Each structure stands twice: as C-alpha cells, then as structure tokens.
Amino acid sequence: MEQLPKMSAAELKDVVKDGKTMLFFSATWCPDCTFIKPAMPEIEADFSDFKFIAVDRDENIDLAAELNVFGIPSFIAYADGQEIGRLVNKDRKTKAEVEEFINSLATNA
C-alpha cells in the first residue's frame, strides 16, 4: 500500500483526481488500526479497482482535521476526485465491515 506523504487537502485533490482511491487513516500507536492492518492486503486484492493509500494520521494531522477525520482507523473513498463515501469513526473495524463499506460504494461510483 502506498504511503501518503504529508500534504494539505488542496494537494490531496491531485492524488485522488483519477480513478478510484481509498484513503486508510491510521497511526502506529492505535490498537484498532493494528487490528485491521493484517486484513488490508486481502482487502486491497479483493477491491483492486481501488488504489489504496495509507495515511499516517499523526504525520497528516492537519489533513485529517481538514477532512473531518477525528477517529481512526478510518476510510475515505474517492472516484475521479469526488468523495463517494466514508467510514470515519473511532470504532474498531473488522474485515467484513470494511468490505461491506466498499461494496456499498458500488452504487455511488
């Protein structure tokens, strides 16, 4: 999974402008992030139409605030630069919950 460098929301627009992109917000100290991380390679493989990008919440704290990401792990999906969905809260997420969220995007993308 590609790692997003530190950037602003304005700079992010260039990253998500083409195709489908899924931002995965997490932090090294977050136990709920550690819980979902082992499932991420399989989720990425199952949803290969999305480009998955890891966002270190601590490194990108301003970006997280600009995007109203106040809990992690969180996911924000984009299609051709437009946000099409988000799973943003502070709750632990299971592989099934993340997959259900991504499957729900099919009607939006």
Nearest 5°: the CA angle 83, 87, 93 is 150
The residue annotated as part of the active site, out of 4, 33, 64, 105, is 33
**Would you put residue 58 in left (φ > 0), alpha (ψ -120 to 50) or beta?**
alpha
The gap from C-alpha 55 to its chain's centroid, in whole angstroms, comes to 7
Is 4 catalytic? The answer is no
The residue annotated as part of the active site, out of 4, 12, 30, 76, is 30
Is 60 catalytic? The answer is no
Cβ–Cβ under 8 Å, residues 27 and 57: yes
Any idea which residues carry the catalytic annotation? 30, 33
